[in-house]
Each structure stands twice: as structure tokens, then as C-alpha cells.
Amino acid sequence: MKTAKLYSFIDIRIEDIPIPDVGPNEALVKVKASGICSGDVMPWYIEKKAPLVIGHEPAGEIIKVGDNVKDFSPGDRVFVHHHAPCMLCSFCSRGDYVQCNEWRTSRIIPGGISEYVLIPETNLKNDTLRIPDSVSYEDAALVEPVACVVKSFKRSGIKSGDTVLMIGLGVMGAIHVMLARHFGAGKIIGADMVDYRLDKTVELGADNIINVSNTSLKEATMSLTEGKGADIVIIGPNSVEAMETGLQCIAPGGTAVLFTPAKPGESLTIDPNHLYFNDINIVTSYSCGPDDTRQSLELIERKIVSAEKLVTHRFPIDRTIDAFRTVAEAKESLKVLITFD
């Protein structure tokens, strides 16, 4: 089977490897669509894991199951989560699935951009979802990214009528904009420096946009919110500058969601009194767990989010390097998929 293996940021090779054997509690999926994630193109993040078969957002059809597998059968159309928790440990029992050791160490084999993917026991049992007929494979490839946004809104503590400021309007920002109303947002403001992405965001439901290449984000946010700031500020870009600016845009009582890590070694300086006297919260939102993927699939089934609106590029596996470059450039693209026959 063909797989896309990353050796360095500019060296992705299509390699032929044997189709994995299926153990008694495992299943094999023929991949139909597999997304490239914004996290896949953070060089420091992905290169420390290299060499690896890239991609972690596959959807496809089960073609073989092990002897002990009762809940799935060949022919099932599925979303597969690349990490799955044990559901038993203290982290899992409080819903902090991504802190579970099993979540951290579980993985799909060999990775998402591969003609076939082996689903190990924990992933099959705890976070593989059968998709309804009305959900396409391309839609199903969105379950994981949409689930990350579901978690982000849950952690934000958003309340009905809140003003949401989304900083960074790549695909993850676009999904936030599409779901903001569902989670109760009143006004939705999007900020980015790429016109294509700003325009797209308006189509997807933003009420106002701010082009940060020629406008001060703080001033523009204040003027759109009668000087108050946004109740919820979601910070997408992988930079401390974006975090610092984002913190200046929050209304008293509001919350900043750090949706992305900073670069290694960077530190964020905060004025504790600014937070204290304004009752400002900072929360993080790292990845997602099985409760989020289930909610995500429901939202996708209800067409609140869809591949039709988000997928801008499709490539065959042989052109994974072009797909990867398109995501890394972060210009006139949103979701980029590798699709298979």
C-alpha cells in the first residue's frame, strides 16, 4: 500500500509498505479521504516526530475485522480517531481525555495518509464512529478538526449573546465561525491578514471582519464592541504575539481560548492585574476526546458544518507534497484533503 512519509518539512516521500496484519481485536480500513491538519505543518511540531507517516484525519470503509470484533463489520463506513483514551483512569473519569496516558500513546497504523489504516483495539473500541449514509467520507474526514472546535467552545464557557472574536481564519478559524452561532454567539468577528480567508469567513457567518495587515486588532475590536471588547477571544495563530494581542481584546468577565501552542521556548508575559481586576479567564484547548467527536459527527450530520463549504483542495496521495505545501502557505485555501478511489 502507498503511504506518505515525512522525513523533513520539504521531504515527503510516497513509500510502498505491506498492508498491516489485523489482530483479533483490530480492524483494517480502506481510506477514502484524509485531511491535512494545521498542526501537521508546524515545522517544529512535526519534525520532532519525523520520520513518520503524516496525517491523522482519515475516514474510510472497514474491509476486515479481527475474530473478536463484534461491534464493527466489513462494509462499515467510519471515522477513526488517531488517539483514543482508556475511559477508566482518573483523567478519563473527569473528561480530561487528552491527558490520559492511553490517549497519548495510542495511534493508528501507519498514519492517516495511507491507502489502508489499521485501527488498534483501544481506538476501535473507544473512538471509531460509524457514519450515517447522509455523511460523505469528505465530511467524515472533518470529524476530528470539528471536534477540536467543539471542545474549544465548551472550554470557553460561551454564553448566549456573547461576542466572539476569532483570530486566525484558516480552516480551524473558519470552523469556529461556522459553529459560533450554534454555541450561542451574538456577534461574530473574524480577524486575519489574508483577504481570501476574510471573505470566506463572511460567507460562513461572520458579522464583521478585521484585516490585521492594515488595522490594529485591538482598536478595531473595541470600535466594533462599543469599547468593551469581545466576550470570547479564540486565538488560533501559533505565536505569542497573537496571544498578547488577543488578551488585549477581551471584555471584562470574558475568556481567551489558547487554541494552539506557542513555539517552543517562547514565553507569554501577562499583567496579572489586568486579568484580576477585569475577571478575565484564560483557558487552553488541546485536541479533543470521544465526547467531542460524537458531538462533532452530530453537527456534521445536521449540516451545520460541511466539507462542501470548507474543502478547497483535493489531491491524490502521490501529490501529498503539494497538498502539504498548500496548507503550509496558508493563503487561498481552507481544508485540504487527500482523496482515494
**Which stretches of the chain bind Zn ion, using CB under 5 A?**
37, 85-86, 89, 92, 100, 144-145
Q: How far is the CB of 311 from Zn ion (least distance, A)?
A: 14
Residue number, 98 or 240, with CB nearest to Zn ion: 98
> 223 is written with which cell numbers?
470600535
Nearest residue to Zn ion on Cβ basis: 100
Q: How far is the CB of 129 from Zn ion (least distance, A)?
A: 15
Q: What is the DSSP string of 25-86?
A: T-EEEEEEEEEE-GGGG-HHHHHTT-SEE---EEEEEEEEE-TT--S--TT-EEEE-S----
**Which residue(s) pair with 15 in the sheet?**
3
What's the one-letter identity of residue 40? Answer: D
The edge-to-edge listing of strands for the beta sheet with 11-16 is: 11-16, 2-8, 52-53
Residue number, 4 or 280, with CB nearest to Zn ion: 4
Element (H, E) at 93: helix 90-93
Query: 171-180 and 195-203 helices cross at what angle (nearest 10)?
Result: 20
Residue number, 144 or 207, with CB nearest to Zn ion: 144
Q: How far is the CB of 172 from Zn ion (least distance, A)?
A: 9
Burial degree of 86 (CB within 10 A; 0-12, 13-18, 19+) = middle
Residue number, 92 or 249, with CB nearest to Zn ion: 92
Q: How far is the CB of 288 from Zn ion (least distance, A)?
A: 9
Q: How far is the CB of 111 from Zn ion (least distance, A)?
A: 12
- In sequence order, which residues have a C-beta less than 8 Å from that of residue 210 and are 6 or more positions away? 189, 190, 191, 217, 220, 221, 224
Residue number, 37 or 150, with CB nearest to Zn ion: 37
Give the chain's largest Cα–Cα span: 63
Residue number, 25 or 99, with CB nearest to Zn ion: 99
Q: How far is the CB of 83 from Zn ion (least distance, A)?
A: 10
